[in-house]
Amino acid sequence: MTFRSYLVSSLMLSLVSVSAMASSVEVLHWWTAGGEAKAANVFRSYWQALGNEWQDSAISGGGGKSAMTVLKSRALSGTPPEAAHLKGSELQEWAALGFLRNLDHVARQGEWEKVLPEFVQHSVQSKGHYVAVPVGIHRVNWLWVNPQVFARYQLTPPETWPQLLTIARKLKQAGITPLAIGDDQWQLNILFEAIVLGEGGSDFYRRAFVQLDQTTLQSDTMLHLLELFHQLRDYISDDYGDIKWNQATHMLVEGSAAMQLMGDWVKGELTAANVIPGKDILCLPAPGTNGKFSYNLDSIAMFDVKDHQKQQAQLQLANMIMTADFQQAFNRVKGSIPVLQQQPLTSFDHCAQNSAQQLQQAIKEQQLVPSMAEGMANSSYVRLAIGDVLSGYFNNPDGDAKLAARQLARAVLSAQR
Ligand code: GAL
């Protein structure tokens, strides 16, 4: 079904039933960069096509730090939005505090247990109950490459981290910024988790970031990974302190930078700028991560509200998100892939098709890991503790790997208490 026919049939349905009960929901999210905003617009259009009203609470700031601060003060003052983009550990924490609506009934009716992959089901459940609706699956471990820059200097994209360092050295000599990145903690976390997954491997990654094993966090392997991370300081731009993730993507598109390590929301940004992902900018596995998949699952949680009409609207929104049609339209623009199993991806770009293939392979070969940087692997306290240590270490020109490893282990331990 095309979006136009979806609109027509939804409008017909709405004419019959909705005029008397058109509802309004407020949706809080941080999808404000070019590609993200386009995806949020798809969301809004689908909702409005049902005859409803959309109150947009868009809080800018990639990674959602500011959005989470606003959400906290809204909830504490007793005026939470009806719906919010909440995921991973933050979702779990809000659910444990009793703020979120139980969605088991919608899940049963929609047979979520049949249509969703197991890891998706678990991510949106708290203590065995559904507390959010999954929107899309992002793969975090991507390397985005400007092929023209590589061709100009006769370079081949790296498949390992040592190769990446060699290439970075050559690019720097040629006056190109090898790696586009900003100084946000979460951007640095993404870079570091890509190194841990690629050089350390999935088992090491799980021991470090899921089990938070003290010995692993201070192991020789960890020292090596931290050293590698620190070496990348030489290959980022001087003004990296001010760069947002989407500005980094534009540096790549313009060719002032050659590579970016980032999740596939980059693709939304590319498409919005009429750049073809997989052709104009290549999507490759982060070095050493072919067949591995670090996932970030976007989801919408519904806050417990008293108003009956609002409650009905929440259910309608949940059902809409789970339709194949919405999943296709939204994820095509957002850069992610649908959460529903066995969805045809023929109308998606090459990178999305590759992401789906890598996901299946990773599930089969136990190479699927939750993204630490995106809050899928452990509590928000642990993630922030890791982020503090990593950014302190990275930003210090004299950063000492041994000390950083010790601090990492200690910070993780105290964040767990
Ligand atoms: C992630 C979020 C993505 C994305 C990104 C950058 O946390 O899950 O949907 O857009 O932040 O803002």
Using the predicted structure, report yes or no on whether residue 8 has a pLDDT greater than 50: no
Mean pLDDT of 67-77: 96
Return the CATH architecture of domain 22-138+297-354: 3-Layer(aba) Sandwich (3.40)
Residue that is written with structure tokens 């809409």 in the block: 320
Q: How far is Cα 289 from Cα 159, in angstroms, rounded to an integer?
A: 8
Same fold, 22-138+297-354 and 142-294+356-415: yes
Question: What are φ and ψ of residue 145, in 5° steps?
Answer: -130, 135
Please, which residues have CB within 8 angstroms of residue 38's CB and are 6 or more apart in sequence? 268, 271, 272, 333
Looking at the CA of residue 87, tell me the nearest atom of ligand 1: 8
Q: What integer pLDDT is reported at residue 342 of this predicted model?
A: 87
pLDDT at res. 346: 97
Is the distance from the beta carbon of residue 265 to the nearest atom of ligand 1 less than 6 Å?
yes
With contact defined as beta carbons under 8 Å apart, do 187 and 245 qualify? yes
Q: How many CB atoms neighbour CB 346 within 10 A?
A: 7
As a whole-number percent, the residues of the chain with pLDDT over 90 amount to 93
Label residue 120 left, alpha or beta by phi (over 0 means left) and psi (-120 to 50 means alpha): alpha
Beta bridge partners of 370: 295
Question: Percent of the chain having pLDDT more than 70?
Answer: 95
Q: Among the atoms of ligand 1, which is closest to the Cα of residue 186?
A: 7
**Residue of 90, 93, 68, 92 lying closest to 81 (CA atoms):** 68
Confidence band (pLDDT; 50, 70, 90) for 271? very high
Q: Residue 265 C-alpha to ligand 1 middle, in angstroms?
A: 7
* 3-class secondary structure per residue, 283-333: EEECCCCCCCEEEEEEEEEEECCCCHHHHHHHHHHHHHHCCHHHHHHHHHH
**Ligand 1 and 375: CB distance under 6 A:** no
Q: Write the pLDDT tens digit of every residue in 367-395.
A: 999 999 999 999 999 999 999 999 999 99
pLDDT at site 5:
52
Ligand 1 centroid to Cα of residue 62, in Å, is 6
Measured by CA distance, the residue closest to atom 11 of ligand 1 is 63
What are the tens digits of pLDDT across the range 290-308? Answer: 999 999 999 999 999 999 9
Q: What is the pLDDT of residue 9?
A: 52
Q: Please provide the average confidence, as pLDDT, over all residues in the chain.
A: 95
What's the chain's length in residues?
A: 417
94 pLDDT tier (thresholds 50, 70, 90): very high
What is the helix (H) or strand (E) element at residue 96, kind and residue range? Answer: helix 88-96
φ and ψ at residue 349, rounded to 5 degrees: -75, 175
> What pLDDT sits at residue 242?
85
Written as six digits, the tokens of 110 are 């929609």
If you take atom 10 of ligand 1, which residue's CA is the nearest one?
Answer: 265
Q: What is the CATH number of domain 142-294+356-415?
A: 3.40.190.10
136 close to ligand 1 (CB < 6 Angstrom): no
Measured from the CB, is residue 64 less than 6 Å from ligand 1? yes
Model confidence at 417, pLDDT cuts 50, 70, 90, reads confident
d(C-alpha 47, C-alpha 317), whole Å: 7
Mean local confidence (pLDDT), 182-193: 96
What is the atom index within ligand 1 of the atom nearest the CA of 36?
A: 10
List, for residues 11-37, the tens digit of each pLDDT value: 444 444 444 467 899 999 999 999 999
3 state DSSP class of 82 = coil
Does the pLDDT of residue 200 top 90, yes or no?
Answer: yes
Q: Identity (one letter) of the amino acid at 324?
A: A
pLDDT for the residue 17: 45
Nearest-atom index, ligand 1, CA of 245: 6
What is the distance in A from the centroid of ligand 1 to the CA of 16?
37
Rounded Cα–Cα distance for residues 250 and 281 (Å):
11
Whether ligand 1 lies within 6 angstroms of the CB of 296 is answered as yes
| Domain boundaries, given as residue ranges, for the chain | 22-138+297-354, 142-294+356-415
What tens digit of pLDDT does each residue of 331-374 get?
999 999 999 998 999 999 999 999 999 999 999 999 999 999 99
Alpha carbon of 72 to ligand 1 centroid (Å): 18
Question: Which strand (E) or helix (H) includes residue 53?
Answer: strand 53-58
Whether 1 has a pLDDT exceeding 90, the answer reads: no
| CB-ligand 1 contact for 186 (6 Å cutoff) | no
